[in-house]
Structure 1
Amino acid sequence: MDNQVDTLSKRMRNLAITKQLNFLLGSGTSVPAIPLMAGLTNSELLKKVEVTSREILDRYRQSANVRNTQSTYDGFIQVVIDLLNLSNSRQSPKNVNIFTTNYDLFIEKAIDKASKNNRIVFNDGANGYFQRMLDSSNYNRTVSYRGLNNDYLNEVPSISVIKPHGSMNWVKEKENIRIINRVSPMPVVVPPTGLEAATTFLQNHFYEMLRIFQLELDKPQSVLFIIGFSFQDKHIGKMVRRALQNAELMVYAIGYSDADRGTFLNNLGFLEERPNFKIITPKDVFVDKNSDNLNLEWLTRTLNGMLSEGD
């Protein structure tokens, strides 16, 4: 790895530990288990996500693609937890916000698995026990562990998952959304119709999820890593554009292929990158000789590098 790439990798890992950490995951992170919507109708895509989500929750019925994709998410979540454990809670909260436009349950399954071996708090925005209702006010909470003799107080790493386009385990109940532990036959989701902005802002719950996204990006000393997302969702693209007015925010948009650089700039209406908005594509980094693309697995390895190097 040459010096330029080495510097980039170290900077990304350092930002993940020292800044308020945010991720935006798009549909590309669930490939190959769920294909991109190109070539699929809306109903075909929703059916595929439903079938895949059922497989996610039933390990005995998983296809190879689902197992491999789940393994990628598992590795990503574990590295995120490791980074949070390294962060200094006096410098920034031990919390990561994972925003995703995906309906599937890969993230939830990965966090559930990680919680068995790590002391973490999973916040999906719900409260309640038998009936877990979604409420945006449940975000931005911190949890601390107090010593048995009250001799110390340690903040517990927290993962907040925010789904502005809904989820396969969301059920509408009157004017509320209930989060269940199975796939709903009628999930509350924003259909990928190309009219996401109109649909989203007509639904108060989705508006609240996007409001959280905007508020988090407006915070000082924050970093946002974007992957699997091409900014075709115009309402989210506008929010990223606005957020970049915050000079203390650093955004890295990771492209699967070199062609994504032009796509990102065009969809955002930018002529070029900005000091706090950088695009990373395969030509910018050292890529394994067996790979020509950047994906969630690559980002996981990059963020894990600091842990292996002891920086």
Structure 2
Amino acid sequence: MTNTPKVPPADVLPANVVKVRDDHRPLSFSPVGDNFELREGSEASWINAGETFGHKELRERIEPWLTSLFQSEHLSLLAGSGLTHAVHYLAVGKPATGMGEVSLATHKDKVKAAAEKAAKEAGRQQGNFEDQLRVANELMRGLEILEDSKADILRKELGKVMQGFAESILKSEAGIAAAQENEREQAFNTLVTFLMSFASRTGTRDRLSIFTTNYDRLIEAGAGLAGLHLLDRFLGNLTPIFRSSRLDLDMHYNPPGIRGEPRYLEGVARFIKLHGSVDWVQTGKDIRRIGLPFGAEKIDPYLAAPGLTGATAHELMIYPNAAKDRETADYPYVELFRDLAAAVCRPNSTLVTYGYSFGDEHINRVIRDMLTIPSTHLVVISRDDPLGRVMHTYEQIGRPSQISLLIGPALADLTTLTENYLPKAAIDKTTFRMSELLKQRFLTKQGALQPNSVAPDGGD
């Protein structure tokens, strides 16, 4: 005899929110055993009140809708920290290392107070690591202008903070790389499926643009396993250098027997790390990407190389850190955000966010501008919304017909999402041909049942 699990009351169950296709407003539903049920106040045209439904019914609504949107003329993916946490959880069974509080001895209370104020002005409830780091950098520049001796002390403190933060990022990478073989393979296979669901676009469509606010190299690792070529602003092989020139480089191939008609190479995407990366270092007037292995234990040994001119962790290009003066404070981030705006703010464009909490106002501003173009669409996929930022942004933008929502573990859990709701991770012309064949056979069968009917091709 088995014990029937007790289901907690509906008001304490985790809420899931879906809004796709012709839904006029977000629909909230909760798990009931192995199925789901709409919460009180939610009404849908595709399910009657009080009836339960499962992943099958949700897939019939979501998957065709996403497949259609993913074949928009322009497609972009914005991945937040939720992607790293999801893959890390699959591999290790716990979330990745988060950003802690900046620990400073110099004007600690004032830095914290200023960070809290900046966070509230940006619509966040409390200051995070980036807010504190930004304020600390501004304070250091002010002390340098005043020729205050505390400037050197603060610079050394910030160097230690940056080194500790970089090592925490590497620790999360190492957790995935050193996980048990079965769990690690499952995690990376899920990541590969996730990425290829977006990157599987026909040659007549614009390249997928991948943007991320993460500092780790998880997407690069997944792309390498998937055979996905990433085009970014770095040029070179040994220590690639960041270039501001936008040449729209691409990859083509010549089909056998055809000359002068190059075609797009499949499995290529453009890639931009909006907040920098743990392996980007400012050296002299240049920004270079160093050969830092995925999940390395320490970063210092890889900074002790000829050409890096004695770079330390303080020269790491992690937003909003800048090792020099105000001139470099905006570089290269201005270039990166310009790429984001250029990619999404154009007609017939779809932007999909995964694991992004809408806590960065500079990104939210671009998204709001994008949605002023009627033919654009935003798809928000998030496992949770603990601070209510996603729903607040949805209400604030005020364009429900251009926004789709998939929020909650029943929809946005990475394994559930890739298995049930994302499009097939392949350029799937076979399915289209099969659909046309079945349609013709269906029409032919219907014509055979009606003696006076006309054949599908218009003949007798």
Q: Under TM normalisation by the shorter chain, which class is it?
A: 0.7 to 0.9
Distance 1:180 1:63 in 2: 28
Q: Which runs of 5+ in 2 are unaligned?
A: 1-54, 89-94, 103-128, 130-160, 294-298, 301-312, 433-460
Q: How many Å apart are 1:268 and its aligned residue? A: 6.5
Match of 2:262 among 153, 167, 185: 153
Q: Which residue does 2:273 correspond to in 1?
A: 163
Contact 2:252 2:263 in 1 (8 A): yes
Partner of 2:191: 73
Cα shift readout 1:129-151 (whole Å, capped 9, x = no counterpart) = 33311224356333210135434
Shift of residue 220 of structure 1?
1.9
**Structure 2: distance between partners of 1:265 and 1:303:** 22
Change beyond 3 A, Cα 1:273–1:244: closer
Structure 1 position 304 matched with structure 2 position 423: yes
Aligned pairs for 1:184-195 within 5 A: 184-185=299-300, 186=313, 187-190=316-319
Q: 1:100 aligns with which of 200, 203, 212?
A: 212
Match of 1:196 in 2: none
| Deviation at residue 272 of structure 1 after TM alignment | 4.9
Does structure 2 conserve the Cα–Cα contact (< 8 Å) formed by 1:13 and 1:306?
no
The CA deviation at 1:4 is 6.8
Mapping of residues 143-222 of structure 1, within 5 Å? 143-151=251-259, 152-157=261-266, 158-182=268-292, 184-185=299-300, 186=313, 187-190=316-319, 202-222=329-349
1:35 aligns with 2:164: no
What do residues 53-91 of structure 1 show as CA deviations (whole Å, max 9, x unaligned)?
Answer: 3566xx4x346876654443222223334x22xx2x33x
Equivalent-residue separation in structure 2 for 1:19 and 1:4 (angstroms): 26
Q: Aligned to 1:236, what secondary structure does the other structure show?
A: helix
Q: Secondary structure at the match of 1:204?
A: coil
Q: 2:46 — aligned with what?
A: none
Give per-residue Cα distances to partners, 1:82-112, cap 9 Å, x unaligned: x22xx2x33x22x111100001111111111
1:17 alignment partner, one of 71, 74, 77: 71
- Higher Cα Rg, which structure: 2
Conserved 8 A contact 2:197-2:424: no
CA contact (8 A) 1:164 1:207 kept: no
Q: Which residue of 2 aligns with 1:287?
A: none
2:224 aligns with one of 112, 115, 132: 112
Q: How does 1:128-147 map to 2 (within 5 A)?
A: 128-138=236-246, 140-147=248-255
Residue 247 of structure 1: CA displacement? Answer: 1.5
The amino acid across from 1:126 in the alignment is F
Normalising by structure 2, we get a TM-score of 0.54
> How far apart, CA to CA, are the structure 2 residues paired with 1:70 and 1:139?
32
| Residue 360 (structure 2) pairs with residue 251 (structure 1) | no
Instruction: Measure the CA separation in 2 of the matches of 1:271 and 1:164.
Output: 22
- Say if 1:200 and 1:206, in contact at 8 Å, map to a contact too: no
The one-letter code of the counterpart of 2:96 is P
Q: State the Cα distance separating 1:269 from its structure 2 match.
A: 6.6
Change (3 A) 1:306 1:155: closer
Is the Cα–Cα contact under 8 Å of residues 20 and 223 in structure 1 kept in the other structure? yes
State the match for 1:230 in structure 2.
357
Amino acid at match of 2:407: T
Quote how far apart the aligned CAs of 1:294 are: 1.2
Which whole-Å deviations, capped at 9, do the CAs of 1:165-194 have from their partners, x for residues lacking one?
Answer: 0111212122221123315543311159xx
- SS of 1:169's partner is strand
Query: In 1, distance between residues paired with 2:221 and 2:60?
Result: 33
Aligned residues: 283
RMSD of aligned residue pairs (Cα, Å)? 3.3
SS at match of 1:232: coil
For residues 196-227 of structure 1, give each alpha carbon's deviation from its aligned partner in whole angstroms, at most 9, with x where no partner exists.
Answer: xxx99932211111110001111221111101
Cα distance in 2 for partners of 1:271, 1:23 equals 19
Using a 3 Å threshold, how does the CA distance of structure 1 residues 35 and 191 change in structure 2: closer, same or farther?
farther
In structure 2, distance between residues paired with 1:181 and 1:70? 22
Q: Aligned pair in 2 of structure 1 residues 218, 191: CA closer, same or farther (>3 Å)? A: closer
- String of CA shifts for 1:234-254, please: whole Å, max 9, x gaps: 111111111111212111111
3-state SS of the aligned residue for 1:137? coil
Return the letter of the residue paired with 1:15: L
Matched residue, 1:266: 392
Separation (CA, whole Å) in 1 of partners of 2:292 and 2:397: 44
Percent of residue pairs identical? 20
Q: Does 1:125 align with 2:254?
A: no
- Note if contact 1:218-1:246 (Cα within 8 Å) is conserved in structure 2: yes
> Cα distance, 1:38 vs. partner?
7.1
Q: Is the 8 A contact 1:257 1:292 kept in 2?
A: no
Q: Structure 1-normalised TM-score?
A: 0.77
8 A contact 1:169–1:179 mirrored in 2:
yes
Q: 1:201 to 1:267 in 2, by over 3 A?
A: farther
